[in-house]
């Protein structure tokens, strides 16, 4: 199938393209980072007037996954207007255009729409309560997409993997600090469900193939603290887990408020796909194998030197 990916230079976008380029015709949209990509790239700023129509006219996709976002929580607090334009207004415009052109759309959202106050896991029926600008603009984006285009899909994700910058994912943060003997802390009171990003990509394609629509949680099947995640990375790479200091997020000094509990149930997705979602340790094994095989260097070689 012909699949258009916005945000192809991002953590999800680049790994999705790399994973799926043999099976599907991938056309990415980026702002100029990818100059040696082994798939087609259209260069556009998505917020420029007329950009979306030009992209859709040129690409003529059957499927579209919107991975573009202002996904840095603190940047959103500092620039709420830009966050709204990218995370809410653009998805609305995209959903409308996909409906008009009969393009199957998955819009990527976030686990962070919840306030984390619930004791236990969140399902798609639980009421979100965003804590900051990022979460609020993403939630508004979900609503805008599903209102404009009820046949579209919204996937609330959380993932880790290798990125173009080497800094985008939490796994890279721990790997980098552990290998550079830098002190770091891991939050013991923030629970989330990390999924290996290539698994996210595979499941997104399965969702498109099945023609799913509506809201889905697409996160890892195991909930753990961010500290525990760091320990898992250290163990996998035979690095010193003792270099990670357990800490409470209350002392983080981060600008945007973060929820303590982002344990999301994936039961709905698992049922509708008719399969169990991949487990945490298999994903972590693959993340490590990629490292051994020089995958991070390979994707980074697609960038401008
Ligand atoms: N990382 C996670 O674990 C996580 C967790 C929850 C939800 N999500 C969601 O997953 C999606 C993908 O996240 P990610 O981690 O891959 O994000 P990311 O690495 O920050 O990538 C964002 C992408 O959006 C592009 N972009 C931003 N503004 C643009 C513009 N005006 N025109 C064109 N492209 C623009 C960026 O391009 P440049 O490279 O040119 O800046 C980049 O390719 C987002 O919707 C995010 O909210 C991610």
Nearest ligand 1 atom to the CA of 112 is: 6
Question: What pLDDT is attached to residue 37?
Answer: 98
Ligand 1, atom 19, lies closest to the CA of 10
Fold of 2-164+194-223+263-280: Rossmann fold (3.40.50)
Say if ligand 1 is within 6 A of residue 157 CB.
yes
Ligand 1 center–CA 138 separation, angstroms: 12
Question: Measured between alpha carbons, how far is 10 from 25 in angstroms, rounded to an integer?
Answer: 19
Say if ligand 1 is within 6 A of residue 85 CB.
no
Ligand 1, atom 5, lies closest to the CA of 158
Question: Measured between alpha carbons, how far is 179 from 210 in angstroms, rounded to an integer?
Answer: 42
> 3-state class of 221 per DSSP?
coil
Say if ligand 1 is within 6 A of residue 9 CB.
yes
Nearest ligand 1 atom to the CA of 72 is: 20
Question: What pLDDT is attached to residue 262?
Answer: 97
* Cα 228 → chain centroid: 20
Digits of tens for pLDDT over the chain (305 positions)? 999 999 999 999 999 999 999 999 999 999 999 999 999 999 999 999 999 999 999 999 999 999 999 999 999 999 999 999 999 999 999 999 999 999 999 999 999 999 999 999 999 999 999 999 999 999 999 999 999 999 999 999 999 999 999 999 999 999 999 999 898 999 999 999 999 999 999 999 999 999 999 999 999 999 999 999 999 999 999 999 999 999 999 877 777 788 999 999 999 999 999 999 999 999 999 999 999 999 999 999 999 77
Ligand 1 center–CA 72 separation, angstroms: 8
Give the pair of three-digit tokens for residue 305: 């030197």
197-210 and 11-20 are packed helices; what angle lies between their axes, rounded to 10 degrees? 70
Ligand 1 center–CA 67 separation, angstroms: 6
Give the list of residues 6+ apart from residue 93 with CB closer than 8 angstroms, or none.
Answer: 52
Question: What pLDDT is attached to residue 220?
Answer: 98
Ligand 1, atom 18, lies closest to the CA of 10
């Amino acid at each position: 199938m012909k699949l258009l990916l916005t945000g192809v230079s991002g953590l999800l976008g680049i790994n999705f393209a790399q994973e799926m380029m043999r099976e599907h015709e991938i056309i990415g949209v980026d702002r100029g980072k990818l100059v040696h990509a082994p798939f087609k790239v259209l260069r556009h700023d998505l917020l420029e007037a007329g950009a979306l129509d030009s992209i859709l006219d040129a690409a003529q996709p059957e499927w579209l996954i919107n991975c573009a976002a202002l996904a840095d929580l603190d940047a959103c607090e500092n620039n709420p207007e830009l966050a709204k334009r990218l995370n809410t207004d653009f998805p609305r415009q995209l959903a409308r255009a996909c409906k008009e052109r009969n393009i199957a759309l998955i819009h990527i959202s976030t686990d962070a729409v919840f306030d984390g106050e619930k004791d236990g896991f969140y399902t798609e029926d639980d009421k979100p309560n965003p804590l900051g600008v990022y979460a609020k603009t993403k939630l508004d984006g979900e609503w805008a997409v599903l209102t404009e285009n009820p046949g579209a899909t919204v996937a609330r994700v959380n993932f880790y993997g290798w990125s173009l910058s080497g800094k985008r994912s939490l796994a890279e943060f721990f790997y980098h600090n552990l290998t550079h003997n830098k002190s770091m802390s891991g939050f013991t009171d923030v629970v989330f469900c990390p999924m290996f990003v290539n698994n996210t990509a595979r499941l997104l394609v399965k969702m498109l193939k099945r023609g799913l629509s509506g809201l889905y949680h697409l996160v890892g099947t195991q909930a753990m603290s961010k500290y525990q995640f760091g320990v898992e990375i250290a163990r996998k790479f035979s690095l010193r887990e003792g270099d990670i200091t357990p800490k409470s997020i209350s002392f983080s000094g981060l600008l945007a408020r973060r929820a303590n509990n982002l344990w999301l149930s994936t039961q709905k997705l698992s049922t509708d796909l008719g399969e169990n979602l991949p487990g945490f340790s298999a994903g972590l094994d693959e993340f490590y194998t990629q490292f051994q095989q020089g995958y991070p260097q390979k994707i980074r070689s697609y960038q401008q030197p």
